[in-house]
Chains A and B, each alone.
Chain A
Amino acid sequence: DQQVKQNSPSLSVQEGRISILNCDYTNSMFDYFLWYKKYPAEGPTFLISISSIKDKNEDGRFTVFLNKSAKHLSLHIVPSQPGDSAVYFCAASALKKDDKIIFGKGTRLHILP
C-alpha cells in the first residue's frame, strides 16, 4: 500500500514557465514532508521541506504548498530552467513517531527549450 503517491510519472514544461509537481499521502501520522531531486547516475539530493504546522515554504525559485485536509502537497518551480530537468521525489515522515522517511515513485520533469 503506497503511503506517498506521485501520480504523474512525467511532466514537460516550457523553459521560463511554472512547473507544478504534485504529491498525495495517505498516512495521517505524517507531519514532515520533503522533496528530493535526482539526476541520472547520482543519489537524490534534498531540495526543500515543510512541517505540518505550515502551509507554505519558499526557497528561491522553489515553493512547497501543503494542504493537510486534502493530504496533498505540491512543489512549484518558477521560473523553470533547463537544469531543473530531473526526477523529483516526494517524501514524508512521522516525526512524533521518530519514524523513517517514505518516498513516492517520483516524477520526471522535462524542461523544454
Chain B
Amino acid sequence: NAGVTQTPKFRILKIGQSMTLQCTQDMNHNYMYWYRQDPGMGLKLIYYSVGAGITDKGEVPNGYNVSRSTTEDFPLRLELAAPSQTSVYFCASSTRAGNTEAFFGQGTRLTVV
C-alpha cells in the first residue's frame, strides 16, 4: 500500500541548476499539494492542484512550477536553484481540501550550494 511516494529522498544542487521533484499517489485523490518546511518553521504551501489539469499558487510559489497531467502525478520543478530553496519538501494528497485527512509523502531534503 504505497500511498504518496516522493523521489528522490535527498538531493544536493548547485546554484542555477534545475531539477524536478517527483510525487505520485495511488489513492485516486483529486487534491494534491506541495509544501516546504524550513528549519524551525511550519509547512508552507507552494502549489496545489484540485484535479488533473488544474493547478494554483499557494503561499510561496516563486521559483517553482508544477503540472498535473494525470490524477496520480504532481511533479514540482525548480528551474534556477537558489540557496533560499534549501528545505525539506513534502507532497500530500487528499480526497478534497480540508475535511479529509491529507496523506503525506516522506519528504525530499534538498540542499542548494
CA distance A42 to B6 in the complex (A): 12
Q: Let me know if B48 and A103 touch, CB within 8 A.
A: no
Specify which chain B residues have a CB less than 8 angstroms from the CB of A9 in the assembled complex: 40
Interface size on A, residues (CB 8 A): 27
User: B-facing mask of A16-59, CB < 8 A → 1, else 0?
Assistant: 00000000000000001010000001111110010100000000
- In the complex, chain B residues 70-105 whose Cβ is within 8 Å of any chain A Cβ: 90, 92, 94, 96-99, 101-105
Q: Is B67 an interface residue (CB 8 A)?
A: no
Q: Let me know if B42 and A43 touch, CB within 8 A.
A: no
Q: Let me know if B98 and A99 touch, CB within 8 A.
A: yes
Q: Let me know if A46 and B107 touch, CB within 8 A.
A: no
Q: Is A93 an interface residue (CB 8 A)?
A: yes
CA distance A4 to B33 in the complex (A): 18
Q: Is B50 an interface residue (CB 8 A)?
A: yes
Known A-B contacts A43-B90, A98-B96; the reply to A89 vs B33 at CB < 8 A is no
B23 to chain A, nearest CB (A): 11
Closest to A51 in B: B99
Partner of B104, one of A44, A51, A93: A44
